[in-house]
Amino acid sequence: MIRLAEKSGLSQSMISLVERDLRNPTLDTLLRMADALEIELSDVLVKAKHRVSES
């Protein structure tokens, strides 16, 4: 979590809140996290959509 916070420019607290589903991230926050993780946000959204539709 510390490296993700450093790479994304977000606080460790913010990342922890998002991880624990206690805070809904803004689009900017999602983009910064995805960029720091070197993944495409569109891929994350597609996977999330599939999980919701499977429920």
What is the CATH classification number for the domain harbouring 13?
Answer: 1.10.260.40
Residue 33, pLDDT score: 97
For the entire predicted model, the pTM comes to: 0.84
27-37 and 12-19 are packed helices; what angle lies between their axes, rounded to 10 degrees? Answer: 100
Residue 31, pLDDT score: 96
- Distance of alpha carbon 45 from alpha carbon 6, whole angstroms: 23
Q: How many domains does the chain have?
A: 1
Q: Which residue has the tokens 């993700």?
A: 4
Range of the domain at 6: 2-54
Residue 45, pLDDT score: 93
Q: Do the Cβ atoms of 5 and 18 come closer than 8 Å?
A: no
